[in-house]
């Protein structure tokens, strides 16, 4: 039995100022579990990730051809609202980027933006999001403190809580742990694994060990193309393509 | 410049090949000690076993070191896994060689029961399987490895033949029982060596093709 596809890409080509960054990528990302994107810098993995919630729209000179579908809906169609897409498809970046506001307001921000919500409901949803991000116990007594007072690892989990608060169906992670120490990295990885049980999670990572730890399946990109995608254990023990073999065995370049 | 990973991978392979060479020699000498009735040679084999035991430990240490230093993936990972499985198989082949040498010492002290016919042939077949399995490992030749696996049936058949023959001797003349039993132990060791070579060859197929072919022989299933 095949997993239902959350995203399906059909011959997607991306350009920045006419320069090709992603070339003719067709792939499906199943709804269940964690999918990792790996590949050397400049291979197009982050560009593809940003296609999933139209984050590239804000980049000047960006253009896309082909189709990106979310549950069958063409997300680059003229009548698709990118804001609605981003509510369903959240994103967490490499550098944590909390707003200059309190811990509470950071998490509440999206809820206030997207919905009319009573104060008790808001407080409940903020708590749920912070619990889901494994941060609640550390911050419950200081929700009004500035987010900037948190450690780097805590700030990253706050950003995850902020993304979770609006109840997305998909969470995209762009190297979420590359700026974190090993302990904070481990917590983020645990969180990614946990979230993968109920959301579609896609994670871009340079850390191959991280991909082996968190991802159910892994896609390898090279020079803007998808080389190979498969179960993570297969990609790392018996890759089909010699370019994947070279990359995962550390002989690339 | 050689990639540090390639360097360590090659060292691990070289170590395994060195060990295999020593094991093959042990087996060759043990069989010669028996066939040529040379008990001094048999003692030499028995005394050399400790060297092989140390090699096995050395392979494990190198493999662990390689994992720690390089966190190997793909073929490198399969090589490390295969190496840690092949070394104990080689070590067991050497143990069987010692077993054969011990029986040689016993048998050389008494008059021969019968001329050696099938046993030397069985020894060269089983020894050839070990040699080819290692050769396949060195050359990444999974086809050769698959042929080694196929040859195990011939060794098993010779074992069966020797068993029946010795049974006849024992039934006809009970005084031959001690010598026949000693020869049976030798045949049994050679049969096991064929199995070890098969194990090694299966690891070579895993290494080269990433396919696990263990426990797939229909004849094996039938025998239970």
Confidence of residue A142 (pLDDT cuts 50, 70, 90): very high
Which of A47, A72, A90, A74 has the alpha carbon at shortest distance from A201?
A90
What rounded mean pLDDT belongs to chain A?
94
Contact A250 B70 (CB under 8 A): yes
Q: Tell me: the pLDDT tens digits for A53-73?
A: 999 988 999 999 999 999 999
Answer yes or no: is A13 within a domain.
yes
Answer yes or no: is A143 within a domain.
no
Answer yes or no: is A147 within a domain.
no
Q: Which residues of B touch A244 (CB under 8 A)?
A: 74
What would the two tokens of residue A13 be?
């080509």
- Give the per-residue SS3 of A74-105: ECCCCCCCHHHHHHHEEEECCCCCCCCCEHHH
Q: Tell me: the pLDDT tens digits for B142-170?
A: 999 999 999 999 999 999 999 999 999 99
Contact A248 B3 (CB under 8 A): no
pLDDT at B221 over 60: no
What gap in Å lies between CA A108 and CA A119, rounded to an integer? Answer: 10
Residue A21 C-alpha, separation from nearest chain B C-alpha, in angstroms: 28
pLDDT at A253 over 90: no
Answer yes or no: is A102 within a domain.
no
Contact B3 A236 (CB under 8 A): no
Confidence of residue B2 (pLDDT cuts 50, 70, 90): confident
What gap in Å lies between CA A39 and CA A252, rounded to an integer? Answer: 10
Residues belonging to chain A:
253
Answer yes or no: is A25 within a domain.
yes
Q: Which residues of A touch B77 (CB under 8 A)?
A: 236-237
What gap in Å lies between CA A58 and CA B37, rounded to an integer? Answer: 87
Residue A43 C-alpha, separation from nearest chain B C-alpha, in angstroms: 20
- The nearest alpha carbon in chain A to B80 belongs to A237
- Cα dihedral across residues B32, B38, B39, B45: positive or negative: negative
Q: What is the distance of C-alpha A198 from the center of its chain?
A: 14
Any idea which of A90-94, A218-222, B214-218 has the lowest mean pLDDT?
Answer: B214-218
- Number of domains present in the structure of chain A: 1
pLDDT at A135 over 60: yes
Domain residue limits at A208: 5-96+168-248
Residue B117 C-alpha, separation from nearest chain A C-alpha, in angstroms: 46
Q: Which residues of B touch A249 (CB under 8 A)?
A: 5, 72-76
Q: Tell me: the pLDDT tens digits for B106-131?
A: 999 999 998 999 999 999 999 999 99
A242 CB within 8 Å of a chain B CB: no
| DSSP summary character for residue B92 | H
For testing contact with chain B, the best of A237, A239, A241, A246 (most B CBs within 10 A):
A237
Contact A236 B6 (CB under 8 A): no
Phi, psi dihedrals of residue A115, rounded to the nearest 5°: -140, 155
pLDDT at B92 over 70: yes
Contact B73 A251 (CB under 8 A): no
Contact B73 A236 (CB under 8 A): yes
Answer yes or no: is A150 within a domain.
no
Q: Of B216 and B111, which is predicted with more confidence?
A: B111
What gap in Å lies between CA B189 and CA B151, rounded to an integer? Answer: 16
What gap in Å lies between CA B125 and CA B49, rounded to an integer? Answer: 22
A238 CB within 8 Å of a chain B CB: yes
- For strands A217-222 and A34-38, give the pairing: parallel
Q: Tell me: the pLDDT tens digits for A228-244?
A: 999 999 999 999 999 99
What would the two tokens of residue A115 be?
């919905």
Question: For the residues of A32-65, what is the DSSP string, one character each?
Answer: SSEEEEE-STTSSHHHHHHHTTTGGGGSTTEEEE
pLDDT at A16 over 50: yes
Question: Domain holding A60: CATH number?
Answer: 3.40.50.300
Residues paired with A12 in a beta bridge: A25
Q: Tell me: the pLDDT tens digits for A156-209?
A: 999 999 999 999 999 999 999 988 899 999 999 999 999 999 999 999 999 999
Q: Looking at residue B217, what is its pLDDT?
A: 62
What would the two tokens of residue B136 be?
């396949």
Q: Tell me: the pLDDT tens digits for B19-60?
A: 999 999 999 999 999 999 999 999 999 999 999 999 999 999
Q: Looking at residue A56, what is its pLDDT?
A: 92
| B4-222 CATH | 1.20.58.220
A209 CB within 8 Å of a chain B CB: yes
What rounded mean pLDDT belongs to chain B?
94
Mean per-residue pLDDT for B4-26?
Answer: 95
> To which H or E segment does residue A10 belong?
strand A5-16
Question: For the residues of A118-133, what is the DSSP string, one character each?
Answer: -HHHHHHHHHHHHHHT
* Domain boundaries, given as residue ranges, for chain B: 4-222
Regarding an ipTM greater than 0.90, the answer is no
């Amino acid at each position: 039995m095949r997993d239902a596809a959350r995203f399906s890409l059909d011959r997607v080509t991306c350009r920045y100022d006419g320069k090709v960054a992603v070339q003719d990528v067709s792939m499906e990302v199943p709804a269940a579990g964690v999918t990792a994107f790996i590949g050397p810098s400049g291979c197009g993995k982050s560009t593809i990730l940003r296609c999933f919630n139209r984050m590239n729209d804000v980049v000047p000179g960006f253009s896309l051809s082909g189709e990106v579908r979310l549950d069958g809906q063409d997300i680059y169609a003229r009548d698709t609202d990118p804001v609605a897409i981003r509510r369903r498809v959240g994103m967490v970046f490499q550098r944590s980027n909390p707003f200059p506001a309190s811990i509470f307001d950071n998490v509440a921000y999206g809820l206030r933006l997207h919905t009319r919500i009573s104060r008790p409901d808001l407080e409940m949803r903020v708590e749920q999001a912070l619990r889901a991000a494994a941060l609640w116990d550390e911050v419950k007594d200081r929700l009004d403190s500035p987010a900037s007072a948190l450690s780097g690892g805590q700030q990253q989990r706050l950003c995850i809580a902020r993304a979770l608060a609006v109840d997305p169906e998909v969470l995209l992670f762009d190297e979420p742990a590359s700026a974190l120490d090993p302990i904070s990295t481990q917590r983020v990885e645990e969180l990614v694994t946990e979230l993968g049980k109920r959301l579609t999670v896609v994670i871009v990572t340079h850390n191959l060990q991280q991909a082996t730890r968190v991802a159910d399946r892994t896609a390898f990109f090279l020079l803007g193309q998808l080389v190979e995608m498969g179960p993570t254990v297969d990609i790392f023990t018996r890759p089909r393509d010699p370019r994947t073999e070279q990359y995962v065995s550390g002989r690339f370049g | 410049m050689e990639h540090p990973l390639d360097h360590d991978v090659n060292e691990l392979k070289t170590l395994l090949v060195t060990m295999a060479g020593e094991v093959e020699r042990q087996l060759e000498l043990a069989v010669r000690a028996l066939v040529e009735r040379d008990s001094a040679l048999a003692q030499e084999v028995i005394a050399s076993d400790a060297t092989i035991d140390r090699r096995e430990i050395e392979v494990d240490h190198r493999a662990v070191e390689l994992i720690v230093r390089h966190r190997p993936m793909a073929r490198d990972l399969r090589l490390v896994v295969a190496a840690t499985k092949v070394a104990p198989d080689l070590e067991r082949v050497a143990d069987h060689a010692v077993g054969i040498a011990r029986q040689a010492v016993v048998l050389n002290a008494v008059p021969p029961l019968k001329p050696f016919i099938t046993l030397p042939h069985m020894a060269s077949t089983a020894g050839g399987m070990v040699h080819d399995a290692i050769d396949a490992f060195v050359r990444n030749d999974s086809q050769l490895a698959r042929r080694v696996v196929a040859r195990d049936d011939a060794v098993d058949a010779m074992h069966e033949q020797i068993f029946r023959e010795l049974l006849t001797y024992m039934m006809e003349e009970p005084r031959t029982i001690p010598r026949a039993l000693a020869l049976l132990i030798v045949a049994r060791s050679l049969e096991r060596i064929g199995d070890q070579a098969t194990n090694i060859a299966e690891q070579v197929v895993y290494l080269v093709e990433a396919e696990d072919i263990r426990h797939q022989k229909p004849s094996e299933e039938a025998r239970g």
